[in-house]
């Protein structure tokens, strides 16, 4: 159901109907835009603008739209249109009035005003924000901006995967897209309600690389996580990231690294185990983490790094958001898309502020010491910076001199085992 259809439904009006609230000065019902073909009534010239300005903004919008559908004096009509443009700048319009106003200016061909009103509505909580995003996607399609339309639909689906009309619009956009250009926009031709046999249920998180969705594997009857890589950076960049993530997962096969089930390159998708406990970042955001839990998680991360480093890789983006918790409470390292071989040269300055080693620069040789630095920052984020025996280890990890840090994940694991 599109924005226009929804607006007709809430007002109870259809072309040629006579339902809806009556205005003070006439008995002609309101309509949604000047393009609707309805009976017209000649009205005497009256200056209603001043009278409407004294009303609450939402009421003023509705009354003005009612008046504009009449064949009123051009001067009065011009004044009402100016007033509506002024009201479009207000941030205190009620949700229905904002959508009606956007519909009116869209019908006048003033898309920039409609976009401004809908963008304001999209930032408000509740169902109106979803309808506004759908309207913004339609406006983007009308002006030929498929990428912007996809972004608005992404936001909509992230909030409500089954919102009426959203997936159908994605399907139509996908049919115009080249295979492999989909990624996290969910625009792949076979990504209408999922990826192959994986039915998407809801979005779990979103980052610079892509979005992760909870999905159901219809063949095996289990929940999985489907990571859809963004396509905006180009197919080759996405392919490199996916290949790195798949190669590392294939080589490591560690109990402390998230399990990878399937790679679907045409859709830019990786199918992985679903970790029901969320991420360490979410656990930290919920409040103080007990020392016992934090010590267990940090040991799991050290074991994961030991295996990653022994296989000749560097994670390069270790942080609480990339450590997930299984249903049994154990921590596993995820998101290996930035991983590179030890000794390779860094192709870009990537990672996350606060968890990226100071020596990480484009062109520098990649070394395990950068992961060790991130490990120390993670220990601090978990509240272990005051722990009498663990704090010195984390401080060593955070040394600005890479040579002063523990060498790699195996050294970290041994150091933790030695701490009582």
Helix (H) or strand (E) segment spanning residue 329: none
**Coil, helix or strand for 317?**
coil
Contact call for residues 173 and 167 (beta carbons, < 8 A): no
Residue with tokens 């739209």: 65
Catalytic residue, candidates 181, 300, 317, 335? 317
Q: How many residues does the chain have?
A: 420
Ramachandran assignment for 329, one of left (phi > 0), alpha (psi -120 to 50 degrees), beta (any other)? left
DSSP class of 279 = B
Backbone angles phi, psi at 111, to 5 degrees: -65, -35
Which tokens hold the place of 289? 């983490």
Do 306 and 412 meet the contact criterion of CB atoms below 8 Å apart?
Answer: yes
Give percent helix, percent strand, percent coil of the chain, each to the nearest 5: 45, 15, 40
Q: Which residues contact 31 (CB under 8 A, 6 or more apart)?
A: 13, 38, 65, 69
End-to-end CA distance of the chain: 62
Angstrom distances, CA of residue 2 to CA of 99, 132, 163, 176:
12, 10, 11, 20
CB atoms within 10 A of CB 39: 8
Going by C-alpha positions, the residue among 304, 297, 357 that lies closest to residue 329 is 297
Report d(CA 289, CA 306) in Å as an integer.
24
3-state secondary structure of 109: coil
Mention every residue, 6+ apart, whose C-beta is less than 8 A from residue 51.
Answer: none
Match 């267990």 to its residue by tokens. 296
Compute the distance between CA of residue 55 and CA of residue 63 in angstroms, rounded to an integer. 9
Contacts of 128 (CB under 8 A, 6+ apart): 95, 96, 98, 99, 121
Longest CA–CA span in the chain (Å) reads 92
317 assigned to active site: yes
Which residues have a catalytic role annotated? 317
């Amino acid at each position: 159901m599109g924005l226009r259809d929804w607006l007709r439904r809430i007002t109870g009006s259809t072309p040629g109907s006579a339902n809806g609230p009556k205005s003070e000065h006439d008995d002609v019902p309101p309509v949604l835009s000047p393009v609707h073909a309805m009976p017209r009534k000649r009205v005497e010239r009256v200056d209603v603008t001043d009278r409407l300005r004294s009303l609450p903004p939402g009421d003023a919008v509705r009354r003005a739209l009612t008046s504009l559908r009449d064949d009123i004096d051009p001067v009065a009509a011009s004044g009402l249109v100016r007033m509506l443009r002024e009201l479009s700048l207000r941030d205190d319009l009620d949700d229905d009035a904002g959508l009606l106003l956007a519909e009116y200016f869209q019908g006048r061909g003033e898309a920039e005003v409609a976009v401004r009103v809908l963008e304001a509505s999209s930032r408000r909580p509740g169902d109106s924000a979803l309808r506004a995003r759908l309207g913004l996607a339609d406006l983007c399609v009308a002006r030929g901006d498929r990428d912007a339309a996809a972004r608005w639909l992404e936001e909509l689906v992230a909030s409500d995967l089954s919102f009426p009309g959203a997936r159908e619009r994605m399907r139509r956009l996908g049919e115009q897209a080249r295979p492999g250009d989909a990624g996290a926009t969910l625009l792949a031709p076979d990504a209408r309600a999922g990826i192959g046999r994986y039915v998407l249920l809801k979005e779990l998180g979103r980052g610079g690389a892509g979005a992760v969705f909870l999905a159901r594997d219809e063949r095996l009857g289990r929940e999985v996580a489907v990571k859809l890589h963004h396509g905006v950076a180009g197919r080759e960049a996405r392919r490199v990231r996916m290949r790195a993530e798949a190669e590392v997962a294939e080589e490591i096969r560690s109990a402390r690294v998230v399990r990878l089930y399937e790679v679907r390159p045409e859709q830019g998708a990786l199918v992985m185990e679903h970790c029901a406990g969320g991420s360490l970042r979410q656990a930290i955001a919920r409040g103080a983490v007990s020392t016992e839990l934090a010590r267990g998680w940090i040991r799991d991360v050290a074991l994961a790094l030991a295996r990653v480093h022994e296989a000749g890789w560097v994670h390069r983006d270790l942080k609480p958001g990339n450590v997930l918790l299984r249903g049994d409470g154990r921590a596993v390292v995820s998101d290996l898309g930035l991983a590179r071989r030890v000794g390779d040269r860094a192709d870009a300055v990537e990672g996350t502020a606060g968890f990226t080693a100071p020596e990480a620069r484009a062109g520098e040789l990649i070394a395990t010491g950068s992961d060790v630095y991130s490990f120390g920052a993670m220990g601090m984020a978990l509240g272990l910076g005051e722990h009498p025996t663990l704090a010195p280890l984390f401080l060593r990890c955070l040394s600005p001199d890479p040579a002063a840090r523990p060498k790699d994940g195996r050294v970290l694991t041994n150091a933790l085992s030695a701490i009582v």
